[in-house]
Structure 1
Amino acid sequence: MLAVLAACGGALAVSGPSEQPAEPGKPTVVLVHGAFADSSSWNGVIQRLQRDGYPVLGVANPLRGLQQDARYVASVLDSVPGPVVLVGHSYGGSVISEAAVGHANVKALVYVASFILEPGESTSELAGKFPGGQLGPALHTVPVPPAAGNVDTDLYIQQDQFRKVFAADVAPDVAALMAATQRPITKSALDEPATRAAWHDVASWNLVTTEDLAIPADSMRFMGERAMSTTVEVGASHAVTVSRPDAVTDVIDQAARATAS
Structure 2
Amino acid sequence: MSDQKPTVVLVHGAFAESASWNGVISGLYAEGITSVAAANPLRSLAGDAAYVRDIIASIDGPVVLVGHSYGGLVISEASAGNDQVAALVYVSAFVPEPGDSAFSLSASEPGSTLGEALESHLIATGGVELVIRRSVFREQFAADVPVQQAGLMGATQRPVTEAALKDAVQAPAPGWRDRPSWHVFGAEDRNIPAAVLRAGAERAGSRGTIELAGASHAVSVSQPEAVVATILDAVRGVIEGRAAA
TM class, shorter-chain normalised? over 0.9
* Alignment match of 2:68 (pick from 89, 96, 99): 89
Match of 1:55 in 2: 34
TM-score (norm 2): 0.94
1:130-169 aligned at under 5 Å gives the runs 130-146=109-125, 151-169=126-144
1:115-163 deviation line (CA, Å, top 9, x unaligned): 01111111110011111111110001001112xxxx3110000001100
For residues 124 and 114 of structure 1, what CA distance do their matches in structure 2 show? 13
Q: Is residue 199 of structure 1 aligned with residue 176 of structure 2?
A: yes
Match of 1:224 in 2: 201
Match of 1:256 in 2: 235
Match of 1:246 in 2: 225
1:232-254 deviation line (CA, Å, top 9, x unaligned): 21121001000000000000000
Identity in percent:
50
For residues 56 and 105 of structure 1, what CA distance do their matches in structure 2 show? 15
For residues 42 and 119 of structure 2, what CA distance do their matches in structure 1 show? 16
Match of 1:14 in 2: none
* Alignment match of 1:118 (pick from 94, 97, 100): 97
For residues 204 and 117 of structure 1, what CA distance do their matches in structure 2 show? 13
**Runs of at least 4 residues off by over 4 Å:** none
Q: Is residue 212 of structure 1 aligned with residue 189 of structure 2?
A: yes
Shift of residue 103, structure 1, vs aligned partner: 1.9
Which amino acid in the other structure matches residue 37 of structure 1?
A
Secondary structure, aligned partner of 1:242: helix
Match of 1:188 in 2: 163
Cα RMSD for the two superposed structures: 0.9
Gaps of 5+ in 1: 1-23
Which amino acid in the other structure matches residue 71 of structure 2?
G
1:41-74 deviation line (CA, Å, top 9, x unaligned): 0000000101100011000100000001000100
Q: Report the count of equivalent residues.
A: 234
Secondary structure, aligned partner of 1:87: strand
Shift of residue 208, structure 1, vs aligned partner: 2.5
CA contact (8 A) 1:77 1:103 kept: no
Match of 2:211 in 1: 233
CA contact (8 A) 1:88 1:114 kept: yes
Higher relative contact order (CA 8 A, sep 6+): 2
Which amino acid in the other structure matches residue 240 of structure 1?
V
Which amino acid in the other structure matches residue 170 of structure 1?
V
Which 10-residue stretch deviates more, 169-178 or 102-111?
102-111
CA contact (8 A) 1:32 1:60 kept: yes
Secondary structure, aligned partner of 1:215: coil
Which amino acid in the other structure matches residue 210 of structure 1?
A
For residues 117 and 199 of structure 2, what CA distance do their matches in structure 1 show? 24
